[in-house]
A = this chain, B = another copy of it.
Amino acid sequence: MQLLMDRILKDGKVIGNDILKVDSFLNHQLDIELFNEMGKEFKRLYKDSEITKILTIEASGIAIASIAAQYFNVPVVFAKKYSGTNMDKDNYEAEVYSFTKNTTYNIKVSKQYINSSDKILLIDDFLANGRALLGLSSIVKQAGAEIVGAGIVIEKAFQGGREIVEKEGIRVEALASIEKMELGKVIFKEY
Taking Cβ atoms with an 8 Å cutoff, the residues of A that contact B are 15, 19, 21, 23-25, 28-33, 35-36, 58-59, 62-63, 65-67, 69-70, 73-78, 80-82, 84-88, 98, 100-102, 109-110, 112-113
Contact = CB atoms under 8 A, between A and B. Distances in A.
A95 to B, nearest CB: 17
17 contacts: A23-B112, A28-B77, A28-B113, A29-B77, A30-B75, A30-B78, A31-B75, A32-B66, A32-B69, A32-B70, A32-B76, A33-B73, A58-B58, A59-B62, A59-B80, A63-B63, A63-B65
Copies of this chain, complex-wide, total 2
Contacts of A66: 30, 32, 35, 62-63, 66-67
A92 to B, nearest CB: 12
Contacts of A112: 23-24, 29
Contact of A110 (B28, B59, B80): B28
Contact of A86 (B69, B75, B100, B109): B100
A28 to B, nearest CB: 6
A102 B59 CA distance: 20
